[in-house]
Amino acid sequence: MKELLSIAFALFAGLMMTRLIKRFRLPDVTAYLVAGLLIGPCFLGRLGLPGVGFSSYEELYALGAVSDIALGFIAFSIGNEFRLDDLKHTGKKAIIIGVAQALVAALLVDLALIGFHLLRPDVLSMPAAVTLGAIATATAPAATLMVVRQYKAKGELTGLLLPIVALDDAVGLVVFAVSFGVARAMQSGAMDLVSVLVNPFIEIVASLGLGALAGFALTKLETLFHSNTNRLAMTIAFVFLTVALSMLEIPIGPVTVGFSSLLVCMMLGTVFCNLCPLSDELMGKADRWTAPLLVLFFVISGAELELEVFGQLAVVLVGVVYILFRSAGKYLGARASAKLAGCSRKVVDYLGVTLLPQAGVALGMCVAAQQLGGQDAAIVRNIVLFSVLIYELFGPLATKWALTRAGDIKPMPAEVANRRANKLAAAGKK
């Protein structure tokens, strides 16, 4: 009962916060994160009132399945951006930019943090620096997608943005797997080629294969039903199924066959949208069905942010270096590669700003990085939490600004705004 009350309260808090900050013209996702922060263990949760906020981080970790499912639906939805007809126009550009900006961000953060390590080896070790460089590649697809949906963004920049975010996370997973393998080899003093190269390659191939198989199966099973309600239920069931299957780890001798839920669900959506004639309608309905789930996901994400990291000066200093160089890498990498790919001026100028948000994927990498143990694991965790707090509060606002400047978010026509204002005024008088 307590968990259900907490979930209901979290949804209510997130929705009400959007009304409070509407006057500041901030994206809804920022409101959800702020609401989560306020009802989390750092503020309201300290009161320990049953069902009112989250009193401990253990309560939040117990709701981990919510985050897993939400990220699965986000990846499934992003898979819709890989329709072959659309990729004929944007595919080459998306691949060039998606790979380039991720690698530039990782390179700049690596160089900056390795330099910091040489100056202060007592604060930041080489394995931790290399691991943080790899985590810098990841962009938060959830925050970006929510801003695009809320403001119904549409245009050249938006058309490139979502495929790039999806590719960015795929590249990030590869870079992280290799870099983390190198970091662990530095700790142990022995280079393990299986961990550094073989396991990451197997994870990517296995994830894409599982997602493609699930997408083909979903397309065939949809033909058994004539009701859109049943088809929608089948679609949702498959997302749940693929998220569950992607948690499997199958050891085969020295090799471990693992899966990335983001890649699996993204491939599920990609295959489904290209094979099923009704996919556009069904995926649109699935997006509406998952709206409350995404609200809850962001509120929980906000509640998980730990303000205690600000109390450690060394963490703040490394965090500032990480944020500055990651932001520079994303912006400069996107700008240079967009110009190389022949994109328009507005894409060149504003694409990099939309790639700043960082959350779910980075936090997942952070969890894996805890295998470093000791001080290395602690510093990586605190730096990532620090950066996520900053990026998630200001990243969506930056994305909205960039999409507006690029002309993909259109201002509400005056007559529509007046009509809505008149309706609200009339409702208030009744």
Mean pLDDT of 377-391: 81
The H-assigned helical ranges of 80-153 are: 84-119, 126-135, 141-150
Helix, strand or coil for residue 123? coil
Of 296, 287, 381, the closest CA to residue 64 belongs to 296
The first and second tokens of residue 143, run together, are 């925050």
Q: Say how far apart CA 406 and CA 408 lie, in whole Å.
A: 6
Render pLDDT for 62-71 as a digit per residue (tens, 0 to 9): 888 888 888 8
* Confidence check: pLDDT of 254 > 80: no
Express the helix, strand and coil content of the chain in percent, nearest 5 each. 80, 0, 20
**pTM, rounded to two decimals:** 0.76
Q: Give the range among 117-126, 152-161, 165-174 with minimum mean pLDDT.
A: 165-174
% of the chain beyond a pLDDT of 90: 31
Helix, strand or coil for residue 121? coil
**Cα separation values, 262 from 83, 94, 120, 386, Å:** 18, 18, 36, 23
**Cα separation values, 169 from 141, 163, 349, 365, Å:** 8, 10, 22, 11
- The number of angstroms, rounded, from the C-alpha of 138 to the middle of its chain's C-alpha atoms is 8
Render pLDDT for 6-20 as a digit per residue (tens, 0 to 9): 899 999 999 999 888
pLDDT at residue 211 in the model: 94
Render pLDDT for 275-310 as a digit per residue (tens, 0 to 9): 999 898 898 888 888 889 888 988 887 887 777 766
Q: Say how far apart CA 312 and CA 306 lie, in whole Å.
A: 12
Q: State the amino acid at position 114 in one-letter form.
A: I
